[in-house]
Amino acid sequence: MSIQVVATRALLAERLDAVRSSGASVGFVPTMGYLHEGHGSLVDASVACSDLTVVSVFVNPLQFAAGEDLDSYPRDLDADLDLCGSRGASLLFHPGVEEVYPEGPVQPAVPLADVALPLEGERRPGHFAGVAEVVARLLRAVGPCRAFFGQKDFQQLQVVRRMVVDLGLPVDVVGCPTSREHDGLARSSRNAYLTGAERAAAPVLHRALHAAAAAVAVPGWDRAEVEAMMVDMLAGEPAASPEYAVVVDPDTLLPADHPTSGRDLRVLVACRFGRARLIDNLGVVAG
Ligand code: PAF
């Protein structure tokens, strides 16, 4: 079956109501387009357990602060269609801004959990409010059984999980493994901004995360020392300007102080490489 592009919520509902009334399950992959292999793996995960997969492509103005890359965010709808079609998605929902926000410029109204406050929440004020608002609207428009998000945006995944519970939306949120290049760099649409030298330097993110995982596995590890070690590794690359490197509780994203041995923790980093601001993270276990 070839993929269809749908631009309005009314047409989407028409298509999906018929599918749902036949008892078929709907999987959903929300994206901002310029899709890469990481998005492909989300589509694969959805196709594997859904009768029909919807991918949305919508660059959400509400989650960009003034001065961020909303206008220059990379776009390529034809390539997105090819990727989604070749991976077995059935519908590509590509609404305009007025379709998602028919009331005009909006103030995000979706309640935000505390997990949205630290890290990206501090550095990108308003970002998660914009993400939660659009994801809630997209989930209501699509009405999927399951929605698939990459763990690369780990804090976003936790914010969405909490938002879905708080709003009582009947959808399973599935977190999928980060897709990586051969040298460990997490796939991201913003990798397109990297110059050759920056691209060569960027795998330091992955190396720093793995060094932290090894350090945290040793009983008696010290959080401040591990975080300082990661910042030193990142700063050792001339192209890199580290923003944060933290070891946190995965549920609250607050500093993981005195965790018991065997606890699951999360290590997160954010770093600028010229125009590109990249984030990455890894699950680690306390020694
Ligand atoms: O991760 C993204 O691409 C976006 O934040 C999302 C979830 C599609 C909301 O615009």
Q: Which CATH number do you get for residue 169?
A: 3.40.50.620
Quote the strand ranges of 152-225, DSSP E: 172-176
How much is the pLDDT for 111? 87
Backbone φ and ψ for 180, nearest 5 degrees, come out as -125, 150
Give the end of a domain, one of 176, 197, 228: 176
How much is the pLDDT for 105? 85
Q: Is 108 found in the same domain as 210?
A: no
In sequence order, the β-bridge partners of residue 174 are 148
Q: Is 206 among the catalytic positions?
A: no
CA distances from 184 to 205, 207, 217 (A): 8, 8, 20
pLDDT greater than 70 at residue 286: yes
From atom 3 of ligand 1, which residue's Cα is the shortest distance away? 31
How much is the pLDDT for 1? 57
Q: For residue 26, report the distance from its CA to the centre of ligand 1, in Å.
A: 19
CATH of the domain at 280: 3.30.1300.10
How much is the pLDDT for 43? 98
Give the end of a domain, one of 147, 176, 205: 176
Q: Is 26 found in the same domain as 138?
A: yes
Q: For residue 175, report the distance from its CA to the centre of ligand 1, in Å.
A: 13
In sequence order, the β-bridge partners of residue 248 are 255, 266
pLDDT tens sequence across 230-252: 999 999 999 999 999 999 999 99
- Residues 47/176, Cβ–Cβ less than 8 Å: no
Tokens of 263: 């606890």
Pocket of ligand 1 (CB under 6 A): 30-32, 60, 63, 131, 134-135, 153, 156
How many CB atoms sit inside 10 A of residue 265's CB? Answer: 20
Average pLDDT, the chain: 97
**Structural domain boundaries enclosing 98:** 4-176
